[in-house]
Every structure is written in C-alpha cells, then in structure tokens.
Amino acid sequence: MDVTELRKRYHAGERDFRDLNLRNANLNSADLIDANFSHADLEGTEFILAYLNGVNFARANLAGAKLCGANLNKSNLGGANLSDADLHGAILQGVDLRKANLSLAILIDANLIQADLRGVNLQGSDLRGACLRGANLRYERRIYEGVNLRGADLRGTDLQGVNLTGADLTRANLQGANLVETVLRGAILKQANLADSNLQSAFLTEADLSAARLIGANLRKVKLERAILTEAQLAGVALCDSILPDVKLSNANLSGADLSRTNLVRADLTRTDLSGANLTQADLTDASVARTNLRNANLSYAYLTRVEFSSATTVGVQLHGAIMPNGEIHQ
Amino acid sequence: MSNLSKLDEVVETLEKDANLIRIKKVMICACQGKWENNPNTLKNFAVKDLVKELYWRTQTPENLYNILDRILSKINKKSEYTLIVNTILHQVGRLYVENQSEGLNGQRVKNDSHFRQPPPFPTVEETEPPPELNAISSPSNLFDIRWRIMQYTNPLRVKLLLFSTLEREFNFADGDWSQIKLQTLDDLLRQLLQTFPSFSDLKANLTKMANYLDNPDENLQAVTVIAETLKEIYGRSGENNPGTSSEIFNQRADSINSQNIGQVSHHSNLISTEQTAVYSPLNPPLNSSENTLIIDTFLNEKLSLTQSNLVSTNLQTEELENLNNQLESQVNQLINKQIKNAIYPLDETWDKLQNILDFSCQNLPPEDCFDLKKQALQKFLNVIGFKVNELQESLNNLEATPLQSWQSVDFSQQKIMELARKGNPKAIASLINQSLESRGIHTQVKSQNGCLHIILTAEPIPDSKTTATFIHHKLIFLKIQSIQTVKIYGCQKGKKSIAWTQEYTYNELKG
C-alpha cells in the first residue's frame, strides 16, 4: 500500500491498518485520527505536524520516524519502537508509552504531560525543555523496570512532582532541570550533572548520587536518607533544612555549603570537605568525621553528641552554643 | 586635544570590532536610509567616512540616539543589533563629548553603558524595563509558563512562530530544523520577552506573523495561548496592560496614556466628535435599580472603596434655588402670565355668575334670593376647590417620585447642563446617553473623590478610541467643576469584566 491508497482508504472510512508496511513514506500534516497502526512497520516515515490523535501504534515500528509537532494526544504507543525517532515539539499528553523503546529519540520541547512512561527506555534521548509533569515513570516490581534514562539530555526539562522511583539516570545531564518535589527514591544518579537544577523538597531517599555534580543546585528541604553522595560535588550548595540521616558523604566536596538545620545523624563524613560550611543547628549525633575537613566551619548550636573529632581538621571552627561530644554546652 | 585624533581613535576601535559588517550596515542605514546587504558594496564604505557623516548628520548625541533607536525598532535580530547599536553609541558618542558640555554627555555615555543587553534601549519614555521583566527570564519561572503553553497548543507550532518572528521565516529546510533544535522553547520565550518590552507590541507582531505563515488558524490559536499566558507577566510588571480588571486600578493614577487592553474586537461604534453639541430630546437613561446595583458593586469591589457617595437623585431645593437668574425670571414671567390667564377668566366667570343669579332671582324675596345666590356660588366654589385639590394632589405626586419626573417628565436641557456642570453624575450620564443610547451604548456615571468614572456598556465592545474621544470632548464642553480625573471603561453587555480603560486628567482637558 502506498500513501495515496492509505489516504483514500482512510477517507473512505477505513480505520484498520494493522500490520501495514509503509516505510519512509511522507505523511506530513496528514489527518489520520483514530486509525489503527498496531504492529505496522512505519520505519523512517514522516508525520511532521500530522494529526494522530487517538491512533493506535501499539508495537509498531517507528524507528527513525519523524513525528515533529505531531499531535499524538491519547494515542497508544505501548511497546512501540521509537528509537532514533524525532518527536521534537510533539504532543504526547496522556499518551500510553509503556515499555516503548525511545532510545536516542529526540523529544525536545515535547509535551509529555501525564504520559504513561513506565518501563520505557529513554537511554541517550534528548529531552531538553520537555514537560513531564504528572507523567508516570514508576518502577513496579516484576512488572515494570525502572526507567532507563542513562546519558539522557534532560537540560531544562520539567520533571516537577514526577515519580522516577528506581530510574537509572547514570551520567544524565539534568542541568537547570525542574525537579521540585520529584520522587527519585532509589534512583541511580551516578556522575549525573545536576548543576543549577532545582531539587527543592525532592525525595532522594536511598538514591545513588556518587560523583554527581550538584554545584549551584537548590537542595533545600530535600530528603536524602541513606543516600549515597560519595565524591559528589556540592561546593557552595544550599542544603538547609534537609534530612540526611545515614547519608554517605565520604570524599564529597561540601566546602562553603549551607547545611544549617540539617539532620546528619549517623552520616558518614569520612574525608568530606566541609571547610567554611555552615552547620548551624545541624544534628551530627553519631556522625563519623574521620579526617573530615572542618576548617573554619560554623558549628554553633550544632548537636555533636558522640562525635569523635580526633582525626578531623578543626582549625577555626566555631562551636558557640554547640552540644559537645561529652554532653557539655560549649561556651 | 584635536578632534581628529579622537575620530581616528573611534574609527580604529570600530574597525577592530568583530561585528564590523553589522556596524557598517547600521551606520549606512543611519546615513543613507537604506539597508545594505551586498558584501562588496559594504566593503567599499570606509568606516571613517561613515563616522564623519553620521557625526555631521546628527550633531547631538540625542539625535544619534534617536536615529539608532528608530533603526533598531525596525530590524529583526534585535538582541544582536542591540549590541551593535550600543557599540556605535558608545564610540561615536565619544566625539560629541569633546564639543559639548561635559556633564550632559558624560551622563549620556554613562547611561548607555548602563543599558542592559536584552531590552537595551530605554523605551520611548526612557524608563528601564522593570526588574520583574528580567526576573521572569529566569528558567524557574518559565517552567510554569511553558507548562501552560504546552497544555493548550502545539509546542512545535509555537516554536516555529516564535522563530519566524524573532529570526527569519522558517523554511522547513534541514538547516532550519537543526537551527530550531538548538533553541528550546525556553530560549525563544526568553528572547521574545526581551525583544518586546510591551504586550501590545508582542501581540501585534505575533499576530502579523501568524497570518503570514501557513495555517493561520492554528498559528492564531498559538498566538492566543501565548498572549494569554504572557499577559499576566506583562500585567504583573505594571508596565503593560493588566490582565484582570482589578489590576487596572493598580495602575499609576497619573498616567494619561490611554491603554487598550486586549481589544480583539474590531467592532466600532463610531461617533463623530462634532456631535458634541447636538442635543436630542431627553431619552430616559436606563436607571433601573439593577444597573445601579451593578455599578455599585463594580465600583465597590474593584476600587475597594469603603463608602460610595452616590449623589442623591432627588432634586434638592437648593439646586432649584441655584438656577441661574435668567431661567428664574423666565419661569416667573411664564407663571405670571399663566396666573393672569387663569385668574382673569375666573374673576370674569364669578362676576358673570353673580349677575345671572341676581337676574334670575329678582322676583324672589330678598332673603330667599340671598340664600339661593349663596348656595349656587358655594357650589361653584366647591367644584373649583375640588379642581385645586386635584392639582395639589398631582403636585404632591410629582414630589413623591422626583426620580421619574426628573428623568422622563419635563426637565429642561439647560437644567441638566447646569447640574452636569456641578458634577451631578446622573446629569452627566443622561447627557452622554442622549448621544450614545441610539448607538446601543449605555452609559453609567459615578463620581468619587474628584474622579469621574464613566462605564460604557454595549453589545459589541464599544470602540475605545472614538467613544473615549467623544466623551472627552463632551466633558471639555461641559467644564465640570470639582473633577480632577476622568476614567472611562468599556464593557461588553452582560459581562462584568472590563475590556478597556482610558484615563484623562480633567484639569488638563480644561486647559
């Protein structure tokens, strides 16, 4: 079947185009609302600014297809192969993309609001400026794996409030992204770039942020229980009011960071650079500070119960009003 | 210090500039009024000649500034050329410093260097864009804007539209596709906000481009969404047209500049200003209690003023006494004449009746004659008295419903004018209504703290320019006392929101 025949048959009222083979066709600006293309082979086909509302593309092959600006509202792309597809500025609001392959896809400025993206593969995709508010990317045991976003470009992406539990964001670029209240429980953010991102009130419980770059990020009121932040770059970061019990911050750079009122109970601060950091009213009970650099840090009114300072660098530390390891209040 | 060495210095700096071609383009445009794109022709122009010509043409830094500003307002790629124009201003501006008073130019150059890169020129009023406008350029605030835009329109279409407006027409070629992928919607929106300091400019430019490109319907839908989303920002910055009516009142009260808000409708209730002096017979203006209620709630809510001193509709006796002497004497004359007309025949009839009674009773004995005559005359007087009572009653009724009488019965035009001059809102409303009612525009007027609020309601939103000018002329004609400002609002019938508002300072009108 060729394009003319497809258009003719669609016009005549036919909607069922299952298992269709139409590679590299030109369907720009086409109106194919509610058509059924499940299992169709549409590799490399162009759908620029096409109207594809409610279209069924389940398990279709759309590898390398051009879907820029296409309207895919309420369409079904479950299990579809969209690797290397161009979805620049496409409307994918509320779309079913479960277990779709979107590796290396272009999703710049795409509308992915409320889309179902469980178990999706977005490795190396370009999601700059895309909006994913209300999208579902949750890990579900034995049903959906964590979303694969390894090495994805998420600069300036809007992920506010999105559930990314268990997602793999290794080496992803999240610079300037909106991650306010985003759920990143148990997510892997190894070596990810989170510079200048906004993570206020985000949930990073048990997340792995080792060697992540977080300079200029907003980390106020973040939950980081048991998170791994070894070798993370956190110099000058605002972490005030965050909850970090049992956090691993060994070898991390927190020089000049604002850690006032944080909960660092049992935190691993081995070899952590906390020089010039503000730890006012921080709770460091049972924290490990072996070889920690606390030069010129401000520990006034901090709780230092059972903290063992013998190997830490404490030159110029301010301890006014702090509760010292022996339970005395420092004068 | 010789002028020449300074010139050489300037020329040298400009020639070293990486954007020399663009600098030349702008200077050629300033000198010759044409935009030169041919690289060979551009090469033939010597920078020195151009600087000299520009200098002689302009003479003052103000002129130079104005010319360059005008060029900038007309060209694309504003952000790039802003830099160019700043460079020229700075460099060529140095030449003037030598000739003129140090202070003025020193300040000028300083100002220029203060120009922020994006909206680089102080706008026409020489005001820097408010800081809020720059604040919104920060990505964190743009997330919400982007989210709202994406929900209601095609993101790619918005990008194509913005790209075409800001850069050049998008031609769907591979080169343009890769170019547009480099700029996210955020970047384009930020550029848009920087390029258009005013909301009306923004909307006009986008609409123009939307109509020009393919699929104008879809593009216009995108424009509407963009405008709706960005309106709030412009409104918030206080510099442009506010989005909600409540914000109208937060505007600077001293601004005489009229502002048209989102007036999409092109319906116009055209009114010629010559009509000012034409007075048709009184049309009873719609003054139902419902309308009064609307006007009251409207003003109380929106102005959040605690008390409304709605001028009493009752005609006060003081007001009657204050009628001008001419009118009073006229009325007196009229009354005297009517009294004469009424009393004289009454006397005559009385005498005549007496005579007839005397004549008919002459055969009767004098006592009977007297009784009969007295009875008959009493009867006559009773009927007259009854008639007088009737008149008295109607007079009483007249006093009891003065509102109706003042609107619909016989109130002379002069009297209304008199009241209008004193600032009586009812009178002003009825005067305006006389001319506008026939066009389907209903007027309500209220005066508060020296400010006259005029609300115009019509089926299609009344045309702001013509109606406002018309009313403005009418008010000048009236010379109302005790009014400092006039605010005119345009509303669509049946809707509470205000489509546009115009404000005038009344004292200036009088001048």
Q: Please tell me if residue A178 touches chain B, with a CB cutoff of 8 Å.
A: yes
Task: Supply the DSSP symbol for B181.
Answer: H
Q: Are A56 and A37 in contact (CB under 8 A)?
A: yes
Of B155, B160, B186, the CB nearest to A111: B155
Residues of B in contact with A178 (CB under 8 A): 139-140, 143
User: What CA–CA distances, in Å, run from B416 to A246, B320, B420?
Assistant: 84, 12, 6
* pLDDT (mean) for A39-50: 92
pTM: 0.53
Give ipTM to 2 decimals.
0.86
Other C-beta atoms within 10 Å of A130: how many?
A: 32
Q: Are B26 and B84 in contact (CB under 8 A)?
A: yes
Average pLDDT, chain B: 69
How many contacts, defined by CB atoms under 8 Å, are there between A and B? 65
Q: Please tell me if residue B181 touches chain A, with a CB cutoff of 8 Å.
A: yes
* pLDDT (mean) for B263-271: 37
Q: Does residue B490 register a pLDDT over 70?
A: yes
Residue A251 is predicted with a pLDDT of 92
**B150/A131 touch (CB, cutoff 8 Å), yes or no:** yes
* pLDDT (mean) for B41-64: 79
* pLDDT (mean) for A75-101: 92
Q: Does residue B398 register a pLDDT over 80?
A: no
Residues of A in contact with B222 (CB under 8 A): none
Closest residue of chain B to A66, computed from CA coordinates: B177
Residues of chain B above pLDDT 90, percent: 0
Q: Where do runs of H (alpha helix) occur along B196-268? A: 199-212, 216-236, 245-248
Give the least confident one: A25-34, A84-93, B250-259, B427-436.
Answer: B250-259
Q: Does residue B304 register a pLDDT over 70?
A: no
Long-range pairs for B364-368: beta carbons < 8 A, 24 or more residues apart: none
Q: Are A94 and A72 in contact (CB under 8 A)?
A: no
Residues of B in contact with A125 (CB under 8 A): none
**B155/A69 touch (CB, cutoff 8 Å), yes or no:** yes
Average pLDDT, chain A: 91
CA distance B121 to B71: 12
* pLDDT (mean) for A24-53: 91
Closest residue of chain B to A68, computed from CA coordinates: B156
Give the least confident one: A236-240, A248-252, B203-207, B340-344.
Answer: B340-344
**A109/B159 touch (CB, cutoff 8 Å), yes or no:** yes
Nearest chain A Cα distance for residue B149, angstroms: 10
**B154/A110 touch (CB, cutoff 8 Å), yes or no:** no
Q: Does residue B375 register a pLDDT over 60?
A: yes
Residues of B in contact with A110 (CB under 8 A): 155
Q: Please tell me if residue A158 touches chain B, with a CB cutoff of 8 Å.
A: yes
Residues of A in contact with B184 (CB under 8 A): 108-109, 128-129, 156
Chain centroid to Cα B358, Å, comes to 79
Q: Please tell me if residue A91 touches chain B, with a CB cutoff of 8 Å.
A: yes
Structure tokens at A83: 């690797």
pLDDT confidence bin for A192, thresholds 50/70/90: very high
**B147/A129 touch (CB, cutoff 8 Å), yes or no:** no
Residue B48: name the closest of B91, B3, B88, B12 by CA: B12
Q: Please tell me if residue A73 touches chain B, with a CB cutoff of 8 Å.
A: no
CA distance B476 to B470: 10
* pLDDT (mean) for A235-248: 91
Residue A264 is predicted with a pLDDT of 92
Closest residue of chain A to B181, computed from CA coordinates: A108
Of B139, B140, B184, the CB nearest to A108: B184
* pLDDT (mean) for A71-85: 91
Q: Does residue B247 register a pLDDT over 60?
A: no
Nearest chain B Cα distance for residue A41, angstroms: 25
* pLDDT (mean) for A125-146: 89
Q: Which residues numbered 136-155 in B keep a CB inside 8 Å of some CB on A?
A: 139-140, 143, 146-147, 150-151, 154-155
**B154/A69 touch (CB, cutoff 8 Å), yes or no:** yes
Give the least confident one: A150-164, B207-221, B322-336.
Answer: B322-336
Residues of B in contact with A106 (CB under 8 A): 181
Interface test with B, best of A108, A155, A159, A196 (most B CBs within 10 A): A108
**Which residues lie closer than 8 Å to B49 by C-beta, 6 or more apart?**
none
Residues of B in contact with A49 (CB under 8 A): 154, 156-157
